[in-house]
């Protein structure tokens, strides 16, 4: 794994050139062993618990941390006019810088190398946001068609993912904007332009994420509405069944009273008459409920509305 990078013909290249480099990759223990300012040491002390990217100005440049959207991986950096020191115990920085070398990312100084690194971290984010949107579009289609229950676990995972991206974009946008506005000589004019371009990219991603969050709220609301509709349909059926059984219960209860003289008790066709009356009551009630669409879970009314439309 590469531990140093230099600039060759305006592009980032692996290794040192003539014993010099502009980017060095260190582990946390190696970085703490170096002479650090108070601010730099404070920044590194937050490496294991930071929740979002940030940058702090120092007397010789800047220091900061970058936290991935998942919150599980972090790396720090110390930026001076002559060198970018990356502090990473994993492979995030090495992998991203390797891609920047392959892409021949334009770099003029250490700040430009940091910009190239941050841009590589955003490489797959447009596709990532598209996948999240596709997930919610699938859920929306399933809810509207009523074919199957949506994957609630995936919905919640996408919501957590969007929350992590929102925090990530906010911190990265502040970091890029802070460096793009530098006028102390820490960042060259060409690298400032690249940082401004990075800030605009982050703004576009944040705007797309915001619209996606609004869409996810609509899908969640639609899903909750579908649950309410199903519950209402269940209650509707229970109400219909109870209404049908109620007069039958009344008739059977009435004729279950122990009185010696009651209508239809002494005639041979009395039992049949009560049966016919009960069947007639059920038939009338079912016809009434069917006519009003209470026995079709709303489908008959929905089709009728479509025909009228």
- 200 pLDDT higher than 70: yes
| 246/174 same-domain check | no
Residue 168: both structure tokens together: 């990530």
| 300/176 same-domain check | no
At 193, the pLDDT band (50, 70, 90 cuts) reads very high
The answer as to whether 141 is a domain residue is no
Domain boundary among 224, 244, 275: 224
**What average pLDDT score do residues 191-209 get?**
95
Count how many domains the chain has. 2
Round to whole Å and give the CA distance between 110 and 255: 97
Tell me if residue 185 falls in helix, strand or coil.
Answer: coil
What CATH number did the domain enclosing 280 receive? 1.20.58
For the beta carbon of residue 130, count every other beta carbon within 10 angstroms: 12
Q: Are 12 and 97 in contact (CB under 8 A)?
A: yes
pLDDT digits (tens, 9 = 90+) for 43-71: 999 998 899 999 999 988 999 999 999 88
| 113/178 same-domain check | yes
Q: What percent of the chain has pLDDT over 90?
A: 49
Exposure string (b/e) for 231-243, b if CB count within 10 Å is 16 or more? Answer: eeeeebeeebeee
pLDDT, position 1: 57
| 214/301 same-domain check | no
Of the two residues 43 and 236, the one the predictor is more confident about is 43
Cα 295–chain centre separation:
39
Round to whole Å and give the CA distance between 77 and 172: 13
The answer as to whether 134 is a domain residue is no
| Closest among 262, 199, 269 to 55, alpha carbons compared | 199
Residue 192: both structure tokens together: 């400032």
pLDDT, position 304: 42
**What is the average pLDDT score of the chain?**
86
The answer as to whether 148 is a domain residue is no
| 98/244 same-domain check | no
Report in angstroms the alpha-carbon separations of 280 from 112, 237, 240, 274, 294.
86, 20, 16, 10, 19
Report in angstroms the alpha-carbon separations of 247 from 19, 255, 265, 291, 305.
98, 12, 20, 20, 33
Round to whole Å and give the CA distance between 172 and 146: 41
pLDDT digits (tens, 9 = 90+) for 103-159: 999 999 999 999 999 999 999 999 999 999 999 998 888 888 876 677 778 888 888
pLDDT digits (tens, 9 = 90+) for 295-305: 765 454 444 44
| 175/220 same-domain check | yes
| 89/164 same-domain check | yes
Tell me if residue 145 falls in helix, strand or coil.
Answer: helix
At 249, the pLDDT band (50, 70, 90 cuts) reads confident
* pTM recorded for the entire structure: 0.75
Domain boundary among 224, 246, 274: 224
At 262, the pLDDT band (50, 70, 90 cuts) reads confident
Report in angstroms the alpha-carbon separations of 151 from 39, 134, 143.
46, 13, 11
Domain that holds residue 241: 229-308
The answer as to whether 135 is a domain residue is no
| 263/169 same-domain check | no
The answer as to whether 133 is a domain residue is no
| 66/13 same-domain check | yes
| 273/200 same-domain check | no
pLDDT, position 308: 38
| 261/118 same-domain check | no
Sign of CA dihedral 251, 256, 258, 261: positive
The answer as to whether 146 is a domain residue is no
Residue 291: both structure tokens together: 């006519």
Give strand pairing partners of 55: 64
Round to whole Å and give the CA distance between 184 and 20: 23
| 176/294 same-domain check | no
**What average pLDDT score do residues 186-195 get?**
94
């Amino acid at each position: 794994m590469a531990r140093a990078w230099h600039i060759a013909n305006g592009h980032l290249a692996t290794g040192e050139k003539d014993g010099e480099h502009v980017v060095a990759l260190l582990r946390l223990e190696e970085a703490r062993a170096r002479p650090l300012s108070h601010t730099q040491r404070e920044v590194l002390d937050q490496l294991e618990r930071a929740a979002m990217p940030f940058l702090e100005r120092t007397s010789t440049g800047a220091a900061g941390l970058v936290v991935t959207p998942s919150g599980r991986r972090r790396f720090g950096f110390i930026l001076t006019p002559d060198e970018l020191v990356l502090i990473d115990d994993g492979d995030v920085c090495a992998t991203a810088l390797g891609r920047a070398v392959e892409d021949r990312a334009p770099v003029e100084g250490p700040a430009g190398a940091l910009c190239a690194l941050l841009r590589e971290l955003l490489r797959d984010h447009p596709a990532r946001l598209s996948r999240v949107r596709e997930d919610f579009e699938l859920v929306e289609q399933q809810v509207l068609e009523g074919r199957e229950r949506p994957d609630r676990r995936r919905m919640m995972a996408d919501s957590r993912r969007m929350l992590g991206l929102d925090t990530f974009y906010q911190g990265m946008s502040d970091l890029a904007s802070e460096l793009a506005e530098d006028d102390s000589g820490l960042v060259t004019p060409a690298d400032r332009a690249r940082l401004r371009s990075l800030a605009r990219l982050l703004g576009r991603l944040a705007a797309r994420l915001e619209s996606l969050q609004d869409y996810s709220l609509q899908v969640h609301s639609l899903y909750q509405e579908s649950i309410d509709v199903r519950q209402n349909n269940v209650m509707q059926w229970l109400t219909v069944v109870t209404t049908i059984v109620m007069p039958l219960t009344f008739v059977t209860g009435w004729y279950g009273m122990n009185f010696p003289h009651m209508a239809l008790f002494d005639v041979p066709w009395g039992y049949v008459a009560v049966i016919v009356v009960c069947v007639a009551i059920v038939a009338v009630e079912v016809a009434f409920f069917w006519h009003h669409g209470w026995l079709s879970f709303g489908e008959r009314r929905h089709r009728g509305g479509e025909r009228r439309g």
